[in-house]
Structure 1
Amino acid sequence: MKKIHIYSLVVVLSIVIGCTTDKVSEKKMNSTNTKKKAVVYQVFTRLFGNTNTTNKPWGTIEENGVGKFNDFTDKALSEIKDLGVTHIWYTGVPHHDVIRDYTKYGISNDDPDVVKGRAGSPYAVKDYYNVNPDLAVNVENRLQEFEALINRSHKNGLKVIIDIVPNHVARNYQSLSNPEGTKDFGADDNTSVEYDVDNNFYYVPNTPFEVPDFLNGYVPLGGDKNPLSDHKFDENPAKWTGNGSRSPKPSFYDWYETVKVNYGVSPDGKKDFDALPAGFEHEDYKKHFEFWQDKKIPSSWVKFRDIALYWIEKGVDGFRYDMAEMVPVEFWSFMNSAIKMKKPNAFLLAEVYNPKMYRDYIQKGKMDYLYDKVQLYDTIKHVMQGHGLTDHIPPIQEDLKDIEHHMLHFLENHDEQRIASPEFVGNAEKAKPAMVVSATISTAPTMIYFGQELGEDGSENAGFGTPSRTSIFDYIGVPSLQRWVNDKKFDGGQSTSEEKSLRDFYKRLLNFTISSNALMGEYQDIHQFNRENTEWYNDKVLSFVRWSDDEKLIVVSNFNAENRYGFDLSLPSDIIEKWNLKDGEYTLTDQLYKEYSSILKVEKGQASIRVDLKPLASFILKIQD
């Protein structure tokens, strides 16, 4: 592993002061403090309980093993809950293409020429009304095993999220489990035309599909023989590919394993459905639901709404929507309002990367949360890597202040490099300051990816794709997680001391965030103030304040790669006034590790705190009565 010399420190100064606030802030805090921050634990379901350590590239399920729904025991779930988690996102649950013979259960075989990896992409869904057969102990009872997992999760205090991939489905979509009266995607399509508003797919009429030319030495299944691996796939006429390619022979770099779903948008961009009325972004989900009741709705809209409601009925608490911005915002108004009518507290999270569209998807599309990737994540990553400036972080919060609650924060997910991989920063300890900033800078939920809390580095060569990201395409083990799973005791019995220490840090931090009133209250940047007024404070340091009626927080982070810092951090006069700080000294004691204390000095309208930054330390300091 490449050694990277980046030392960072985060100090969180938690000040609990019985004081008054201005009426505007008081009104906002009283409205927000009825809720606590959410923490989402994303887990790649088939990898979690797999204790097989073979890790052969392109290994079969027999060689490399696979986790099951039943591996999420009460003990496992209680440990996840105790980490400070409120929601668990089970990634890869809907039945997607896999290269394994399940024909004795009536499931057709999938073609390696249009499947990525041996275990298949979770984003090439084959049957939305059932679950991945790999995840079941008894394949015939696979749906019942997942329903039991939903119930276990709820019993252990966790809300359940699963994926819906609205933009595309597997090329061979075929549901064996459709409810009565439900037809498959494309079953009623007119395949003689490129587009029809009620077609579920787009077509290349009178032209068969061709498998792409494989590049860079790629061979399906790593060259292992399979009867269907013949560089052919029967699809006539060809459909548009998932990422929008209209070629009957897509590129190797296209999403060739999937086909794009038609939402009533013609090839020239015309929308063949009603637009939302002007000002409708200010209406609630009930008004949105009413709006669509007398409208003509494209077939694909109805199919995905019915899929979502099917899973809501089974107890699922929310969805993560893949590539949501590739689907019209009007569909989300229709879909999400229908979900909210059934489950008002459903947790609806969307993968959206275009900041210009954020407000449309939140306000018109009725999304609860969007990924904050292209702004906060990308900026913090650059700071962690030593070539970004903390000066760039406060403007992000200013830009998003009207929607900050809706911007989910993360440092890892299944699409991103593992923090500990050499391609990111090469050392999971370097995530500590960024994690505290990410988790405390706003009222938005925090998400961590399974194994992140243990410093997983994603270095396994699983087959399809390259290391640095834990594979989502193949059967593989996750070494740091396997040590924590400890032969399914779920107690960290084989974890290294470094892994135990890191997990302890995440546990302390996440549990603080879900219990803090201030983190659902007000935010103000004090970074620029200290840049101008504090010696030794520079563009590798970040500070901001958070507060509520009964809790005041100061967050200070040092992202410098080399230096320690000691300085007297200052509070602006308006914060002193808002917090009603009286002249005097206040003792602050660390609540995270119980090993540090400092003094807040207030005198004649000025306030300062001596902060001594040690590499990779974190504090939560609280005023003692």
Structure 2
Amino acid sequence: MSKLTKILSISIVLILWSCSSKNDAEKKMEVNQNNKKIVVYQVFTRLFGNTNTTNKPWGTLAENGVGKFNDFTDKALSEIKNLGVTHIWYTGVPHHDVITDYTEFGISNDDPDVVKGRAGSPYAVKDYYNVNPDLAVNVANRLQEFEALIERSHNNGLKVIIDIVPNHVARNYQSLTNPVGVKDFGADDNTNVVYDVNNNFYYNPNEAFEVPEFLNNYEPLGGENHPLSDKKFDENPAKWTGNGSRISKPSFYDWYETVKINYGVSLEGKKDFDELPVGFENKDYKSHFEFWKDKKVPNSWVKFKDIALYWIAKGVNGFRFDMAEMVPVEFWSYLNSHIKMKNSDAFLLAEVYNPSLYRDYIKKGKMDYLYDKVQLYDTLKNVMQGRGLTDHIPPIQDDLKDIEHHMLHFLENHDEQRIASPEFAGNYEKGKPAMVVSATISTSPTMIYFAQELGEDGSENAGFGAPSRTSIFDYIGVPALQRWVNDKNFDGGKSTKEELALRDFYKRLLNFTISSNALMGEYQDLHLYNRKNTENYSSKILSFSRFSESEKLIIISNFDADKTHQFELKIPSEIIKKWHLNDGTFLVRDQLYGKKSFDLKVKNAEATVKILINPLESFILKLQ
């Protein structure tokens, strides 16, 4: 599915709702003291190991190459781990529609009229019980090759995340490897009615599906002749489309390559399943599991529960749930409680775009994490582009303070433009202060997208879609990454000195975050206080403090690409009291590069530190 225009956000389940006698602040501190920061490395699996540099628009697998599971060698994985990563999200693993012919392995060909790109969208899943054949050296053993990658990842200290797309599946869903007793989606549907609680899809009886009118001079496969590219696709009766379009001939801008899953919600919006009792948002996953044990639930719920537990049994440590807010929150309570009963440490991350739904999907839906897209990401992007003020960042933290741990932070992912692209910032250096803020402002996980640490600009014209985002639909190379991969030596042997310097910055930052106690402790804004009280303190600067009993930090970032800023940062008395500092002079030293230190002068329970900060520079100052 194409999600270039959608608004992201991320979903995250509350880990401590158990000690009902404690208040929220005590629970939060207990969580923070017992955990370290999480760093997720999202990698588009098919692109990572591809060393072919042809990059022909609409190029075939043979022409442009493709990466394999086996390209994630121990050396590659150890380098990812050493970057400061705890979890790796292998994007595009479940078997989705592709145009490459695999009929010799019993896999049916996919129709270009309902496939986006030549390599296909990873969000149009064709078989949930197997993996993308493109990713295997031996297609017949593709599942075993992925199982070996799971084991290799674990051996290198990385937990494994894959996608589950619960809102929709490919129009031609067909599993070749269902476990015994498992039937395909739609196998038992009554197709003579629009809706039935146990149908997996919604139907338009007596109407056939029609391929949409292609717009903007678009032609499947760039206009190449293909035996199935005839503007026809056999689907009778027509199913509703993945984004909810009910018409039998969806729009070109609909997710026409997918069909919507029915979760037991009628045409009028009635929920044909039990709802959670009032107050159940405060109960833990075990209580949610018990609640659903004796309840009859729609067939689609059971199918996705079985899929998730299938992958948990294979060693997958968690999931990123696509388009979670388009699925009823009660289903998430059912699914996630079942997952947590099998693996209480499972990492459950979801897209939820609407801030008014965040707390429901965390508390009722038992999500661990949600994308902080529409608040922090969008605001940081505006600041990086010179269109926004850092003044808008502290209110976000205040608004989310009760759920800040559950709002995953990122600057890039497969849906977003590359920082270095002209359409975003045009310069990867502008991402550095934003990355420091994103990674240190809260206890939430941090996510980076593969080759972000190398300044990839996403400028390749792959075919479907436009440059600025690395294509998820076609076979393509990722030049900055390929230079670092260096013919699969994974040593940066062909990287530029600028790329290596950027990777070194990310490595220093991320490794600091996963070892810091303060970053799992308290947060207090310094920015708005200094905007009111400090001369020469600018709206292009952001500052805040993070601290625990054993570590005290002052974090300052300069988003100004052109100007060095000099000012006397003021630290209010309430922080100095919490830090138990008496009058005197204390050294604070930068933890990123260790080359700069400053004097923190305390007098009458207030403090100041004279700062000189270069364009796009950041300091993580630690009290010595």
* TM-score where L is the length of structure 1: 0.95
Distance 1:397 1:430 in 2: 22
Distance 2:590 2:188 in 1: 64
Instruction: Give the CA deviation at 1:542.
Output: 1.3
Partner in structure 1 of residue 617 of structure 2 = 617
Residues 211 and 231 of structure 1 are in contact (CA less than 8 Å); yes or no, is this contact kept in structure 2?
Answer: yes
Change (3 A) 1:40 1:427: same
Aligned residues: 602
Distance 2:30 2:309 in 1: 33
Residues 559 and 615 of structure 2 are in contact (CA less than 8 Å); yes or no, is this contact kept in structure 1?
Answer: no
SS in 1 for 2:90: strand
The residue identity in structure 2 corresponding to 1:309 is: L
Distance 1:122 1:619 in 2: 39
Task: State yes or no: 1:117 paired with 2:121.
Answer: no
Partner in structure 1 of residue 315 of structure 2 = 315
Distance 1:24 1:369 in 2: 18
The residue identity in structure 2 corresponding to 1:351 is: E
Distance 1:200 1:344 in 2: 29
Instruction: Give the CA deviation at 1:590.
Output: 2.4
Instruction: Give the CA deviation at 1:387.
Output: 1.0
The residue identity in structure 2 corresponding to 1:419 is: I
Moved more, 525-534 or 345-354: 525-534
Task: State yes or no: 1:271 paired with 2:271.
Answer: yes
Instruction: Give the CA deviation at 1:541.
Output: 1.5
Instruction: Give the CA deviation at 1:34.
Output: 1.3
How do residues 66-105 of structure 1 correspond to structure 2 at under 5 angstroms? 66-105=66-105
Moved more, 350-359 or 587-596: 587-596
Instruction: Give the CA deviation at 1:225.
Output: 1.2
Partner in structure 2 of residue 36 of structure 1 = 36
Distance 2:596 2:92 in 1: 43
Superposed CA offset, 1:557-600 (max 9, x none): 22234321111100011111111111111122223212211101
Superposed CA offset, 1:367-396 (max 9, x none): 000000000000010001001011111111
SS in 1 for 2:570: strand
Task: State yes or no: 1:383 paired with 2:403.
Answer: no
Superposed CA offset, 1:274-332 (max 9, x none): 00000000000000000001111100000000000000000000000000000000000
Partner in structure 2 of residue 463 of structure 1 = 463
Residues 41 and 88 of structure 2 are in contact (CA less than 8 Å); yes or no, is this contact kept in structure 1?
Answer: yes
The residue identity in structure 1 corresponding to 2:459 is: S
Partner in structure 1 of residue 59 of structure 2 = 59
SS in 1 for 2:43: strand
Superposed CA offset, 1:423-478 (max 9, x none): 00000010000000000000000000001000000000000000000000000000
In structure 1, runs of 5+ residues without a counterpart are: 1-22
SS in 2 for 1:609: strand
Partner in structure 2 of residue 209 of structure 1 = 209
Superposed CA offset, 1:194-236 (max 9, x none): 0000000000110000000000000100111111001000000
Distance 1:537 1:567 in 2: 6
Instruction: Give the CA deviation at 1:26.
Output: 8.3
Instruction: Give the CA deviation at 1:27.
Output: 7.9
Change (3 A) 1:28 1:110: closer
Residues 26 and 549 of structure 1 are in contact (CA less than 8 Å); yes or no, is this contact kept in structure 2?
Answer: no
Distance 2:341 2:231 in 1: 46
Distance 2:39 2:126 in 1: 30
Partner in structure 2 of residue 144 of structure 1 = 144
The residue identity in structure 1 corresponding to 2:342 is: K
SS in 2 for 1:162: strand
Moved more, 27-36 or 67-76: 27-36
The residue identity in structure 2 corresponding to 1:362 is: I
* TM-score where L is the length of structure 2: 0.95
How do residues 244-393 of structure 1 correspond to structure 2 at under 5 angstroms? 244-393=244-393
Distance 2:337 2:586 in 1: 49
The residue identity in structure 1 corresponding to 2:463 is: G
Superposed CA offset, 1:12-68 (max 9, x none): xxxxxxxxxxx9988854542211000000000000000000000000000000000
Residues 560 and 616 of structure 2 are in contact (CA less than 8 Å); yes or no, is this contact kept in structure 1?
Answer: no
Partner in structure 2 of residue 597 of structure 1 = 597
Distance 1:555 1:25 in 2: 23
Residues 40 and 88 of structure 1 are in contact (CA less than 8 Å); yes or no, is this contact kept in structure 2?
Answer: yes
In structure 2, runs of 5+ residues without a counterpart are: 1-22
Distance 2:611 2:623 in 1: 15
Distance 2:575 2:25 in 1: 12
The residue identity in structure 1 corresponding to 2:276 is: L
Structure 1 stretches (4+) deviating beyond 6 angstroms?
23-27
Instruction: Give the CA deviation at 1:354.
Output: 0.4
How do residues 222-241 of structure 1 correspond to structure 2 at under 5 angstroms? 222-241=222-241
Superposed CA offset, 1:513-542 (max 9, x none): 000000000011111110111111122211
Percent of aligned pairs with the same amino acid: 79
The residue identity in structure 2 corresponding to 1:588 is: V
Partner in structure 1 of residue 49 of structure 2 = 49
Moved more, 587-596 or 525-534: 587-596
How do residues 136-215 of structure 1 correspond to structure 2 at under 5 angstroms? 136-215=136-215
Distance 1:621 1:522 in 2: 15
Residues 25 and 522 of structure 1 are in contact (CA less than 8 Å); yes or no, is this contact kept in structure 2?
Answer: no
Pick 1 or 2: higher relative contact order, CA cutoff 8 A, min separation 6.
1
